[in-house]
Amino acid sequence: MWDYTEKVKDHFFNPRNAGELPGANAVGDVGSISCGDALRLMLKVDAASDTILDAGFQTFGCGSAIASSSALTEIVKGMSLDQARAVTNQDIADYLDGLPPEKMHCSVMGREALHAAIADFRGEAADSHDEDEGALVCKCFGIHAGLVEEVVRDHGLRTLEDVTNYTKAGGSCGCCHEAIEDLLQSLNAAAPDTPEPVPLRAAAEPAPAMTELQRVRAIEAVIAEMRPMVQRDGGDLELVDVDGKTVFVRLLGACTGCHLAGSTLSALQQRLMERLGGFVRLRTVEAVPLAAGMEG
């Protein structure tokens, strides 16, 4: 289980400024419910002074996403738009006394929503990280190369695991891993003196390491807990194999080709990482049809 600070817990259990904001004149929408996380940030801005008078949010996501959104609204109230534009995702994490590395993407989502809301107020195009800033890297979570490059440079990221922690890219089917690693190699080669990422806070005392058998049984238990939920909608999922930090699963029934499959996989990955206490890479395996003449 990850170690959450008291501030994270407080902003999760007692979120500030949650819900619709009457009179909001700046709105930033980021993420997608089908990808597992979505945030709408609403600002009430004084047009004469460009000062943020109030802020509110609506978040679909985990506890860290809610806490990060709550913290962001508290940070920006009273700021000018230019001051708010300079707020970074690390500022959000620092306000909460730190986030687990696996949850840093929640603070990045907050910063993206803030930029989108400011652009909305000013009538400008939001930072979209679209094809003009690089190709689509991760189809599962809609992450383009522009965002990956930005967080790699801003935070000195070195590994695929780092990129997944900060953006979620690479956290589902695994098809984009090679593209992410190519980006990392080119960016770090261009800036060889980039310092190692600085931990946001002291790491918690690690839990005793599981044996391989214990890990497999824990993974089976998580999948067993989730199966009734997907079975209710006519789908199913099963464990295929475990190779180190990579877990191979198969989607069955209505889950095959479903537009919400990404949400199912995201929820499964989050539960696995919480149960195992570390990064998990999730990959899907296609169902193999029986050979002709083998049925029955």
**Residue 106 annotated among the catalytic residues of the structure:** yes
The count of other CB atoms within 10 Å of the CB of residue 177 is 18
φ/ψ (deg, to 5) at 4: -100, 140
Q: Distance between CA atoms of 52 and 284, rounded to whole angstroms? A: 44
Q: Distance between CA atoms of 28 and 110, rounded to whole angstroms? A: 10
Q: Distance between CA atoms of 43 and 25, rounded to whole angstroms? A: 6
User: Which one of 62, 106, 138, 140 is the catalytic residue?
Assistant: 106
Joined together, the tokens standing for residue 19 give 């819900």
- Residues 202/208/209/211 CA torsion (nearest 10 deg): -170
Which residue carries 């910063």 as its tokens? 111
DSSP state at residue 18: B
| Longest alpha-carbon distance in the chain | 76
143 beta partners = 138
Beta strand 246-253 with 281-284: parallel, antiparallel or unpaired? parallel
By the 8 A CB rule, do 155 and 197 touch? yes
Alpha-carbon Rg for the chain, nearest whole angstrom, is: 20
235 beta partners = 253
Q: Which residues are catalytic?
A: 35, 106
